[in-house]
């Protein structure tokens, strides 16, 4: 399917790239979210370049994945001869699969983010070694004792609750963290279930 210049309405970056690659497109895919803007350059269906400010190539491509509310505008035009073609060394399908994998990973992470009123409880386990974590991230586990909410942990370490929740979500996905809810939330849930 060929795409002429204009807005593209798709659910994901991977889907958009697949459409442009399969249509053997040449031009620029402008990607915008809020005040942020970047582009992907395509040449005959090959993804040749990506840029967000000073960030280029693979780093820029995978940074776009985190732009959950992005808009896509394709501008069909020839590329300048002197444009860097760093991404042309990769098969387009490999890049698309990488983007799709990152999108799936991000969706799982979003689903695992604990509510701010939940009380994370570190349960331990061998799978902790599979989580990429900084010493500060690991320090959060000592605060995840099943008695403090995500909000309270955030206040203790002077970070936003969302930052804490995202970090704890990685441990939750690894199976070393479970959620405990305050008694009033458990009672409401039980009442709703018997409803």
Please report where in the chains the tokens 């458990």 appear, as a residue: 186
CA-based torsion, 146, 151, 153, 155: positive or negative: negative
Here the tokens at position 182 are 């305050």
DSSP run (H or E) holding 42:
strand 36-43
Give residue limits of the domains in the chain: 6-111, 114-194
Residue 183: predicted pLDDT: 60
pLDDT tens string for the chain (195 positions)? 556 666 677 768 999 999 999 999 999 999 999 999 999 999 999 999 999 999 999 999 999 998 888 899 999 999 999 999 999 999 999 999 999 999 998 888 888 888 888 999 999 888 888 888 899 999 999 999 999 999 999 999 998 888 899 899 989 988 999 998 766 544 444 444 455
Indicate the class that CATH gives domain 114-194. Answer: mainly alpha
């Amino acid at each position: 399917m060929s795409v002429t210049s204009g807005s593209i309405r798709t659910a994901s970056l991977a889907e958009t790239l697949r459409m442009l690659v399969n249509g053997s497109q040449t031009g620029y895919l402008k990607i915008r979210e809020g005040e942020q803007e970047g582009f992907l350059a395509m040449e005959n269906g090959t993804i040749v370049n990506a840029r967000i400010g000073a960030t280029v190539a693979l780093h820029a491509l995978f940074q776009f994945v985190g732009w959950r509310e992005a808009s896509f505008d394709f501008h069909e035009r020839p590329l300048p001869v002197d444009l860097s073609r760093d991404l042309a060394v990769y098969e387009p399908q490999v890049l698309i699969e990488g983007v799709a994998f990152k999108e799936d990973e991000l969706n799982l992470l979003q689903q695992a983010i604990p509510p701010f009123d939940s009380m994370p409880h570190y349960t331990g386990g061998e799978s902790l070694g599979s989580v990429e974590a900084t010493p500060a991230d690991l320090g959060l586990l000592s605060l995840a004792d099943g008695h403090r909410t995500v909000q309270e942990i955030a206040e203790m370490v002077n970070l936003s609750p969302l930052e804490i929740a995202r970090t704890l979500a990685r441990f939750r996905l690894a199976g070393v963290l479970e959620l405990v809810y305050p008694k009033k939330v458990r009672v409401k849930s039980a009442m709703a279930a018997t409803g």
